[in-house]
Amino acid sequence: MANFDFELTISGLCVVVLKADDDRPTHPSAVDLLLVRGVSPDGAVHKPRLSFWPSQDVTHNNPFTRRLEVNPRGRKHASIDIEGRVVRIEHKGGGEDFQISWAQDPEMEVPPDVPGAEELFDWVPHSRDLGLLGIHLPQNETDLPTGSAARLILPPGDLLAQEVVREGGEPVRWKFPATGKERAIANQILYRAKGVRRVSCRFDSPAQTAAGEAPQELTFLGGENVPVEIGVTNDVGELSPNYNGFQQTIVHLESLNGISTKGTVQPPSAVLGPAGGGRTARPICNQVRFRS
């Protein structure tokens, strides 16, 4: 069986919980994703979903309701609702450590125009810069934290920022009222594990655990030079009439107050003027990081 790479694209409103001793760890000991219950300013509800290519799903007697969707180029992909679920992702083979890269200068505000600069994890905002100072992560891995719609537990691999928000080709700087900092923001995160032989997603829930039911599972296989590609999102389930409209303040981040045990979230706003750009037409539903 050929080894292959595994890529998980993370989008939408979630908190990346890094278990580590410092704020900018290169090798955290564990990584969780908390997909937060959220509502956009126009009332659209965030929906946690997992998407994948049906051809890579090799699950025997698949127990899930998989929704078939087609992208504008006609390629079919499947998605499943993971509301109320705890999803443990595992792979056979691959590395044994998490890897995260950071800028040499922790005060850097925008990525320089050099290869790999946009992948630095500095562009995923720290919860502290938003005023979010505490969350509760249950010790029991089958439990959902208060305010979370779903939880993912990741295996070792690399974490990279991607899709830095730009306007006119230049990164937009955002000002964080809680700390006064100004910084670019990434709209997505990419998780990558190289040289794996199999990928599985094990689905649990507090109700299943209480009933003594076994977790459900999906299994994925790639091939030589064919990575397994999965997406997890916690973006809105329906598009509003002004979805593509200009956005100056990332108001949806206020939904993070639902998981806060300390502090009140103050969302960042785009810095106006020639040096800082202005409003951006790119729909933004970004992630934040928290060290536990």
Q: What does the alpha-carbon distance between residue 195 and residue 187 come to, in Å, rounded to a whole number?
A: 27
| Token pair recorded at residue 207 | 């109700």
Residue from 105, 125, 135 nearest 175 by CA: 125
Q: What does the alpha-carbon distance between residue 175 and residue 183 come to, in Å, rounded to a whole number?
A: 7
CA 170 vs CA 22, 102, 162, 280: distances in Å: 31, 20, 15, 11
Cut 0.75: pTM above it = yes
What tens-digit pLDDT sequence spans the chain (292 residues)?
689 999 999 999 999 999 999 999 999 999 999 999 987 766 778 899 999 999 999 987 778 888 999 989 999 999 999 999 999 999 998 889 999 999 999 999 999 999 999 999 999 999 999 999 999 888 888 899 999 999 999 999 999 999 999 888 889 999 999 999 999 999 999 999 999 999 999 998 777 777 777 788 999 999 888 999 999 999 988 877 777 777 789 988 999 999 999 999 999 999 876 555 556 666 788 999 999 9
